[in-house]
Structure 1
Amino acid sequence: MTDTAARPITPVNEHVPGPHWTSFRFFESEVMDDQFKHQLGQMFYGGSDLGECLEVAGRIASDDEQMWLDEWSSLAGRLQERAEQAEGRGHRQSAASLYKRAATYWRGSLIHHALPDEPRTRTNALDAYRCWDRYLELSGFPGEALQIPYESSFLPAYLYRSPIAEAKAPLLIFFQGRDAWSEDTGWVYENAIRRGYHALSVHCPGQGMAIRVNGLPFRPDWENVVTPIVDVAVQLEGVDPERIGLMGLSFGGHLAPRAAAFEKRLKVCIANPGAIHWGESIRIGLPPALTEAYADGPDTFNAVAGAVSDASPVASWFLRDSMWKHGVATPYELMVEFDKFDIRELAGRIEAETLVMDGTEEVFEAGQAHQLYEALTCRKELMLFDASTTAQLHCQTGAFGTAGEYLFDWLDGRL
């Protein structure tokens, strides 16, 4: 597509009768169920195994974050021990596979866990990091750890170099959102290196190691996160500085376009799914009592938030998790902070060709992708996954093969 006409790409656009796979639930909680399906999805690239995941699911009560932490940690620890034993006996490939799955489960243990003072918040993150490094070393997968200078600290990152890249090759920078880690996004970096792209995955403020070890919270002016990353990227050996793309997933589908409005060295921008006003998408999903209390000011809102948290484990988890990751002390301050993540007045400044991805069963940011698409004035396309693709969930959970197919077919020739 070479203009800005509003023509969505629906990959197949066929009606599929009957119930879809997405109706099958492992947990009553929609959030925890989505997070578990995310863990299952890691199987596509060898990051998890079915029996291991189902065994854990059977031991966790819906919305019980302590059980979630305990059971995934237990599994990760067992696999890490087996990996160390296999490595000690010289079985490099067995050890690599075990380290890779252990890293997934260490990361997964923290995805539904909002107790920053719990020692495992840090130790599990470090174990995930160590296991991933051992996986890369033993498997020979072309990834190397980097540290991106960021203010007085650094952003942990991994550079995945394509063995079939040109002498000067395109680079795709990508990051996740508020829950998953960039190492979980194998469908991006594995597809990239197979097609001759280098890939740079980054733990940005509020994410992964950056929040759990370096103590860096989210910030709305995301250009001040991405510009230091691009400063490093353009200097990397073998990278064509004229062919740099940026991709954000989940909450990152808001953050990447924000950065692209200011950072002009980007050739393409990908928002998966797109989100133009994060605060609005959050409020839509809040219990009505909280929405109504917001207009009554901080004291009333904080009191109602406390009552809602007492009655709802998932609300309690979300509020505590978000306050920690955004560096605020109260629920009301959190809502004020959420409203700063608004690019309605900035979307028109984006110059990079932009792909906005969405799914017909998007729940967490419903309607946001279309609003972002309509606000863009650059070259743009909307990619809507429907039931016929089985990729209709948030961030194409459970259909990473399909996601990689359509994303990189779109990128080929553009980056």
Structure 2
Amino acid sequence: MSETLKRGRTRVRGFNDPEMDFQLMRQLGVSRYGGSSVGECLALAQSIPDADPDAWVSAFAQAGERQSVDASARLARGHRVSASQQYLLASNSYRAAEYYCGMADPKHGQYGLLSRQAFLAAMQCAGRDCAEVWIELDGQKLPAYHIRNPQRSTGRTLMIISGFDGTLEETYMAHGLAALERGRDLFLFTGPGQMDTLRFNPGSHFVPDFERAGRAAVDHLLAQPDTAPDALALMGISFGGYFALRIAAADSRIKALILNSPISDLHAYMSSFVGFDPAQMPDPDDFGPGDIDMLPPEAMNAQTREMARNLMLRFGQASFKQTYVAMREFRVPDEALARIACPVLALAGEGEGAEPLRQWRHVREHVSGPVGYYCFTAQEGADGHCQTGNLAFSAAVSMDWLDETLP
């Protein structure tokens, strides 16, 4: 008896666990800009048990290695376009492995550096004018990329800063390439505690006064002879929405601001994800990074353990409760919001939850400059955090607004 025709073995299935399913969607989303392939992502997902971070890390690290080896082989045969595309895939696969790898694991930093290495190889093969930049702040070397437009550099520059776990390389794929396609130069930068910073500054952690890092980045950029000071825009992605608000409130050299999404109170924002305020939890219930593995599995699964541990380490705190206490300092007061006089675009997804949408409205009401806004819908496939399901439409909304605001 002949086998029934099936057309293929890969199935369109995700994960039952909402967080891991979001991470899969995040990986699938950048396929629009060459950061992944749908078939490879779905094939990898079939090999990963639900909410198993170790299996995820292993699968995507192996994919990154395979893609990188393939890219090098194609480059050796003179196929620069194919090599560039494969290196870009490898960069994002290594980023996915870096995401779920525990920060205390030496492989965490290794995967990050491999992601960076593959990205730079992709840029070189593609002939991109991509300059590695290092910004000094408090004894730390903060990495950045300055990428000029491939047609002609007009000096119209979009600065983009990502958030808690985004990287420079992913930001290029998910948001930056759309700006290059529309004729802008691109400056991707980081600050203390961010993933790229940690690769070179172990022990770096987030700081509330992020405007200092932003000021240093703007100083560097405006020192470049090909930067137009009157066409400097800033975009904040995820937690970067908070960073961007702090920067714009303190620096009038920013001429347009895109917030995706607006975060003016990180403590309230993060508390909404766990359903209570950990800053008020009883001390006997508190735990530190070293206590997590002793918690019973029914209290916290493997994925949640690693996320909680990383949260404490990234904020430089000794316990879960102290981390949320420290988050109270991560605020943009209303009087600071009122100092933002440049045009502002506030973005959010209708599926993000009540608190993110509340802050989306709050920021719109309190900045002084003219405000544009958009709430992405499920029908558009973009209702999730940072519109990972439809990055092209997200770019259409944000980049068209920017072209109309700073023509």
Q: Counterpart in 2 of 1:9?
A: none
Instruction: State the SS of the aligned residue for 1:412.
Output: helix
Give, in whole Å, the separation in 2 of the partners of 1:106 and 1:245: 29
Shift of 1:318: 2.3
Q: Counterpart in 2 of 1:17?
A: none
Equivalent positions of 1:116-127 (< 5 A) are: 116-127=103-114
- For 2:365, the aligned partner's letter is E
Shift of 1:42: 1.4
* 1:108 correspondence with 2:96: yes
Give, in whole Å, the separation in 2 of the partners of 1:360 and 1:350: 25
> Which of the numbers 116, 132, 138 marks the counterpart of 1:129?
116
Shift of 1:125: 0.9
> Which of the numbers 162, 168, 171 marks the counterpart of 2:149?
162
Instruction: State the SS of the aligned residue for 1:61.
Output: coil
* 1:413 correspondence with 2:397: no
Instruction: State the SS of the aligned residue for 2:230.
Output: strand
Shift of 1:294: 3.9
- For 2:345, the aligned partner's letter is L
Shift of 1:89: 2.5
Give, in whole Å, the separation in 1 of the partners of 2:340 and 2:159: 17
Give, in whole Å, the separation in 2 of the partners of 1:187 and 1:320: 27
Higher relative contact order (CA 8 A, sep 6+): 1
Instruction: State the SS of the aligned residue for 1:248.
Output: strand
- Provide closer, same or farther for how the CA distance between residues 308 and 156 of structure 1 changes in structure 2, counting only shifts above 3 A: farther
* 1:301 correspondence with 2:289: no
Give, in whole Å, the separation in 1 of the partners of 2:67 and 2:153: 38
Instruction: State the SS of the aligned residue for 1:361.
Output: coil
Shift of 1:50: 1.5
Contact in 2 for aligned 1:244/1:267 (Cα 8 Å): yes
- For 2:286, the aligned partner's letter is F
* 1:172 correspondence with 2:158: yes
Shift of 1:187: 4.4
Q: Counterpart in 2 of 1:8?
A: none
The superposition leaves residues 27-63 of structure 1 with CA deviations (integer Å, 9 ceiling, x where unpaired) of 1222211111110011101111122111211111222
Contact in 2 for aligned 1:32/1:112 (Cα 8 Å): no
Give, in whole Å, the separation in 2 of the partners of 1:195 and 1:88: 32
Q: Counterpart in 1 of 2:231?
A: 243
Shift of 1:375: 2.3
Give, in whole Å, the separation in 2 of the partners of 1:146 and 1:166: 18
* 1:358 correspondence with 2:345: no
Q: Counterpart in 1 of 2:179?
A: 192
* More displaced stretch, 53-62 vs 365-374: 365-374
- For 1:65, the aligned partner's letter is P
The superposition leaves residues 328-374 of structure 1 with CA deviations (integer Å, 9 ceiling, x where unpaired) of 22112201121111113321222222111011111483432112222
Contact in 1 for aligned 2:98/2:109 (Cα 8 Å): no
Q: Counterpart in 2 of 1:225?
A: 213
Give, in whole Å, the separation in 1 of the partners of 2:223 and 2:32: 33
- For 2:344, the aligned partner's letter is T
Shift of 1:65: 1.4
Q: Counterpart in 1 of 2:60?
A: 72
Runs of 4+ in 1 over 4 A off after TM superposition: 305-310
Shift of 1:308: 8.1
The superposition leaves residues 177-235 of structure 1 with CA deviations (integer Å, 9 ceiling, x where unpaired) of 11221322324322222222111011332222202332222111010110000000101
Shift of 1:154: 1.6
Give, in whole Å, the separation in 1 of the partners of 2:94 and 2:186: 23
Instruction: State the SS of the aligned residue for 1:224.
Output: helix
Shift of 1:309: 7.7
Instruction: State the SS of the aligned residue for 1:355.
Output: strand
Q: Percent identity?
A: 27
- Provide closer, same or farther for how the CA distance between residues 298 and 220 of structure 1 changes in structure 2, counting only shifts above 3 A: farther
Equivalent positions of 1:2-401 (< 5 A) are: 26-113=14-101, 115-165=102-152, 167=154, 169-185=155-171, 186-215=173-202, 216-288=204-276, 291=277, 294-302=279-287, 307=295, 311-313=299-301, 314-345=303-334, 346-363=336-353, 365-401=356-392
- For 1:392, the aligned partner's letter is D
* More displaced stretch, 90-99 vs 123-132: 90-99
- Provide closer, same or farther for how the CA distance between residues 413 and 298 of structure 1 changes in structure 2, counting only shifts above 3 A: same
Give, in whole Å, the separation in 2 of the partners of 1:310 and 1:236: 55
Give, in whole Å, the separation in 1 of the partners of 2:222 and 2:119: 26
Give, in whole Å, the separation in 1 of the partners of 2:405 and 2:140: 34
Instruction: State the SS of the aligned residue for 1:180.
Output: coil
Give, in whole Å, the separation in 1 of the partners of 2:275 and 2:181: 44
Give TM-score, length-normalised by structure 2: 0.89
Give, in whole Å, the separation in 1 of the partners of 2:365 and 2:405: 21
Give, in whole Å, the separation in 2 of the partners of 1:315 and 1:337: 20
The superposition leaves residues 255-293 of structure 1 with CA deviations (integer Å, 9 ceiling, x where unpaired) of 1111211112110111101112111111122155xx4x6
> Which of the numbers 385, 403, 413 marks the counterpart of 2:394?
403
- For 1:359, the aligned partner's letter is G
Give, in whole Å, the separation in 2 of the partners of 1:308 and 1:212: 32
Shift of 1:297: 4.8
Give, in whole Å, the separation in 1 of the partners of 2:286 and 2:296: 10
Give TM-score, length-normalised by structure 1: 0.87
